[in-house]
Chains A and B, each alone.
Chain A
């Protein structure tokens, strides 16, 4: 069974640009969550989707948005990039509502 797939794995952007990251969950998983990981702030929850509906959102500015499609694939978008947005963005999927998450390898974003 394929795991969680995130694309792209690495990307470099400049300040002011926008970026879209993609996540394909494990087959059959309808819950997708996104986390930002930085050395200074650690792992921080961004948002969670279930059956195309945003179920929960973390404390991030409106520049961070996401969506989920009918096939459970999810995308997150960051507009007007800032240097502080440089991070590893991790997607996780889950079969049940228990917090047992299966993580992808992440998309590492560098903002110059």
Chain B
């Protein structure tokens, strides 16, 4: 069965520092992979997606993610974190085919220190 693991529940970084959020997935075929962000009291916003092709994908707000098939990973990175990046980040895998169903990881809550 498809699954997504985000091993870090909480991460605290200093403003200006680099960030990497980990995501591992389990899926039998080529996955569709996503990172979403959720601010308190809000819905989810898509940061970036991977369907195929270049394994390094760029997203909004200066985020990027790299798909590594050999490691079943899709880690999210940002070179310099801003205080406004404090939020909860969710990695998700899509089944593809004729459905938009997503399996989400448990999320990583990011705190940014001044």
Contacts of B106 in A (CB 8 A): 42
The A-B contact count (CB < 8 A) is 68
Report the separation of the CA atoms of residues A45 and B32 in the bound assembly, to the nearest whole angstrom.
16
Interface size on B, residues (CB 8 A): 27
- Find the residue from B32, B90, B98, B100 having the highest chain A CB count within 10 A: B100
Q: Which residues of A contact B45 (CB under 8 A)?
A: 103
Bound Cα distance from A82 to B32, whole angstroms? 34
A101 at the interface (CB under 8 A from B): yes
B82-114: which have CB < 8 Å to A? 90, 92, 94-107
Q: Which 5 A-B pairs have the closest CB atoms?
A: A99-B94, A103-B43, A43-B104, A103-B44, A105-B43
Q: Give B contacts to A, CB under 8 Å.
A: 32, 34, 36, 41-46, 49, 51, 90, 92, 94-107
